[in-house]
Amino acid sequence: MHQRKLGPFTVSAIGLGCMNLSHAYGTPPPAEQGEKVLRAALDAGVTLFDTAALYGFGSNEKLVGPVLKSRRGEITLCSKGGMAGVTGDDGAMKRVIDGRPEAIVRNCEDSLRRLQTDVIDLYYLHRWDKKVPIEDSVGAMSRLVEQGKVRTIGLSEVSAPTIRKAHRVHPLTAVQTEYSLWTRNPEIAVIDACRELGIAFVAFSPVARGFLCDAVPDVATLDAKDIRKSMPRFAPEHHARNLKLLPPYRALAREAGCTPAQLALAWLLHKGGDILPIPGTTSVEHLREDLAAADVKLDAGLVARLEDLVNERTVSGNRYGEQANREVDTETFPA
């Protein structure tokens, strides 16, 4: 497995985003299947694992922790707080963004217990709670570092100005944001800010939520609980336009000698040695396909044609709906 630096850690160039095993894309697979994927990742040399308190309202951390426990010293374990599930008045769990210091401390302690570990290697603020100054949230995270509960800290879905404010309070190891051929927002300012400050960039949803795997031909087949149901790019009218990108995209993958998913991941790896994609999957077969992308070589001409084909101008629809757009702090391209 190729290696890259993530702050003080040396990790596999491609990590594993664990969310799919418990959350977001319809009914999750049985726990046994999730454990199988995690063990296959370990055996294949993956050393970067990403989870969060939110995923499955804690169930993802409960799944990940026991499996990784026996190999804890070999891996870099990442989780996130500041956005978690709470029990509402009706008894149902709901998602809440809460960046108050006391909430971050509580989230971290809950995550440590579920993950069955004494320390989290990289702890992210999952969302900036805009009711709380970023300096206050990061200050609480810095105290977790001082207490030995967290080794390093990062932010998720934030803008370049927020990164700079946070970094002045405590050095950030990583910023995590959606980044793929069809979501290029980090190229506006965030990647430049990270490079200026020596912060690694972790790319989630690197295969465009399955679209660049050529895996979503019919949005009508998506599970009712699938988060893509609320994403404009998967609305029927936008999805129909976006599907027109796939035939020439497949042709470029064939030219590169790889699968569509591998092409998306290889493109990210070619964007810089400080970029670490964390694709997720519920399939051991797809996991192995994703990891093989680290060996795909792309020449400059093919990269140029690829970027000309799939970009913020050619993709139809926003990446998030109205509510999610209000919750994140990322820069956006002009309409």
Q: Are 244 and 170 in contact (CB under 8 A)?
A: no
Confidence at residue 167, expressed as pLDDT on a 0 to 100 scale: 98
Confidence at residue 86, expressed as pLDDT on a 0 to 100 scale: 85
Q: Are 71 and 99 in contact (CB under 8 A)?
A: no
Q: Are 287 and 157 in contact (CB under 8 A)?
A: no
Alpha-carbon torsion 250, 243, 290, 282, what sign? negative
Tell me, yes or no, if 25 is annotated catalytic.
no
Confidence at residue 165, expressed as pLDDT on a 0 to 100 scale: 98
Could you give the angle at which helices 59-69 and 101-115 cross, rounded to 10 degrees? Answer: 50
Confidence at residue 270, expressed as pLDDT on a 0 to 100 scale: 98
For 184, the token pair is 């290029």
**Can you give the pLDDT of all 335 residues of the chain as single tens digits?**
899 999 999 999 999 999 999 999 989 999 999 999 999 999 999 999 999 999 999 999 999 999 999 999 999 999 999 999 888 778 888 899 999 999 999 999 999 999 999 999 999 999 999 999 999 999 999 999 999 999 999 999 999 999 999 999 999 999 999 999 999 999 999 999 999 999 999 999 999 999 999 888 889 989 988 999 999 999 999 999 999 999 999 999 999 999 999 999 999 999 999 999 999 999 999 999 999 999 999 999 999 999 999 999 999 999 999 999 999 999 999 87
Q: Are 20 and 55 in contact (CB under 8 A)?
A: no
For 193, the token pair is 């800010």
Q: Which domains does the chain have, with CATH numbers?
A: 3-327 (3.20.20.100)
Confidence at residue 88, expressed as pLDDT on a 0 to 100 scale: 79
Spatial distance between the Cα atoms of 289 and 286, rounded to a whole number of angstroms: 5
Which among 55, 124, 179, 320 is annotated as catalytic? Answer: 55
215 Cβ contact partners less than 8 Å away, ≥ 6 residues apart: none
